[in-house]
Amino acid sequence: MADAATGLSQPIVLVDETQQRVRVFATGASPTGGSALGGGVIYEKSAPLGTLAFAAGKGSVVLQDGQNFAMGRASSTRQALSASTALVVVASNELSQRSWHEFTSLGTPPAAPTPDFSGSPRSGTAPLLVHFTDLSSGSPTDWLWTFGDGATATTASPDHAYAAPGAYAVSLRASNSAGSNTLTRSAYVNVSTPPSPTVTLTPVADATAGEANRNSNFGTNDTLRVRSQGGSSFRSFLKFDRTGVVGSVTSAKLRLFVTDASTNGGNVYLVTSTWTETALTWNNQPSLPATSVVSLGAVTVGAWKEVDVTSAVSGTGLVSFALSGGTSDLAVYTSREGTAANRPQLVLTVQGTPQLPVADFSGTPLSGTAPLSVQFTDLSSGAPTSWQWSFGDAASSNQQSPQHTYATPGTYTVALTASNASGPNTRTRTNYVTILPPSGTGQVFLPVADARVNEASQATNYGLAPELRLKTQAGTSYQSFLKFDLAGLSGTPTSARLRLFVTDESNSGGSLYLVPSTWSETTLTWASKLALPATPLATAGAAPLGTWVEFDVSAAILGPGIVSFALAGGTTNSVLYWSREGTNPPELVVQTSTP
Q: What confidence tens digit (pLDDT) does each residue in 310-325 have?
A: 999 987 889 999 999 9
**Residue 4 maps to a domain:** no
pLDDT single digits (tens) 473-531? 999 999 999 999 999 888 888 889 999 999 888 888 999 999 999 999 999 999 999 99
Mean pLDDT of the chain: 88
Cα separation of 29 and 64, whole Å? 10
CA atoms within 13 A on the CB side of 472: 11
Which tens digits make up the pLDDT trace of 553-588? Answer: 999 999 999 999 999 998 888 899 999 998 889 999
User: Are 32 and 126 members of one domain?
Assistant: no
Comparison of pLDDT for 360 and 67, the residue scoring more: 360
Q: Is residue 112 included in any domain, yes or no?
A: no
- The residue among 135 and 440 whose pLDDT is bigger is 135
Longest distance between any two alpha carbons in the chain, whole Å: 134
Smallest CA-to-CA distance from 64 within 104, 27, 11 is with 27
Q: What is the pLDDT of residue 469?
A: 94
Nearest alpha carbon to residue 108 among 19, 215, 169: 19
Give dist(CA 118, CA 135) in Å, integer: 7
Domain enclosing residue 234, as ranges: 198-351
- Give the C-alpha separation, 549 to 538, whole Å: 11
pLDDT value of residue 385: 87
**Would you state the pLDDT for residue 438?**
67
Residue 578 near residue 452, CB atoms below 8 Å = no
State yes or no: pLDDT of 352 exceeds 80.
no
250 belongs to a structural domain: yes
The domain boundary residue, chosen from 412, 436, 460: 436
Q: Where are the alpha helices (DSSP H) in 173-330?
A: none
The enclosing domain of 431 has a CATH number of: 2.60.40.10
Clarify whether residues 159 and 251 are in a common domain. no
Residue 592 has pLDDT above 90, yes or no: no
Q: Does 204 lie in the same domain as 184?
A: no
User: Could you tell me the CA-to-CA distances from 350 to 121, 164, 421, 491 in Å, in that order?
Assistant: 27, 19, 17, 60
Predicted local confidence at residue 4, as pLDDT:
59
Identify whether residues 41 and 69 lie together within a single domain. Answer: yes
- 356 domain-assigned: no
Rounded to whole angstroms, the Cα distance separating 516 from 529 reads 11
- Predicted structure pTM score: 0.37
pLDDT-derived band of residue 84, with 50, 70 and 90 as boundaries? low
Indicate whether 470 and 588 sit together in one domain. yes
How far apart CA 415 and CA 389 sit, in angstroms, is: 6
Based on the domain organization, do 394 and 492 belong to the same domain?
A: no
- 79-113 in b/e form (b: 16+ CB < 10 A) is eebbbebebebbbbbeeeeeebebeeebeeebeeb
* 197 Rama sector, left if φ>0, alpha if ψ -120 to 50, beta otherwise: beta
Q: How many Å apart are CA 68 and CA 94, to the nearest integer?
A: 10
pLDDT at 110: 65
Alpha-carbon Rg for the chain in angstroms: 39
Instruction: Note the pLDDT of residue 104.
Output: 72
For Cα atoms 435, 437, 443, give the angle at the middle one, nearest 5 degrees.
85
The predicted model gives 269-276 an average pLDDT of: 97
Pairwise CA distance, residues 436 & 162, whole Å:
41
For residues 167 and 148, give the distance between their C-alpha atoms in angstroms, rounded to a whole number. 9
351 has a pLDDT exceeding 80: no
Which domain-ending residue is among 298, 327, 351?
351
Residues 92 and 22 in one domain: yes
**Residue with more model confidence, 363 or 246:** 363
Report the domain count for the chain: 5
Among 4, 75, 60, CA closest to 30? 60
Same domain, residue pair 522 and 559: yes
| Same domain, residue pair 89 and 185 | no
Pair 227, 303 in one domain: yes
Contact between 577 and 467 under an 8 Å Cβ cutoff? The reply is yes
Query: What number is the average pLDDT over the span 187-207?
Result: 89
Q: Which of 192, 208, 223 is the last residue of a domain?
A: 192
Q: Is residue 3 a part of any domain in this protein?
A: no
Tell me the per-residue pLDDT of 163-178, one tens digit each, with 9 for 90 and over.
Answer: 888 999 999 999 887 7
Residue 558, number of CB atoms within 10 A of its CB: 13
> Does any domain span residue 109?
no
- pLDDT of 445 > 80? The answer is yes
Angle at 381 between CA 246 and CA 396, to 5 degrees: 120
**What percentage of the chain reaches a pLDDT higher than 70?**
94
Can you tell me the distance from the alpha carbon of 160 to that of 400, in angstroms, rounded to the nearest whole number? 11
Q: In what order do the strands lie in the sheet with 294-295?
A: 205-210, 234-241, 318-324, 267-271, 294-295
pLDDT band at 112 (very low <50, low <70, confident <90, very high): confident
When mean pLDDT is compared over 1-15, 194-208, 432-446, the highest value belongs to: 194-208
Q: Is residue 310 part of a domain?
A: yes
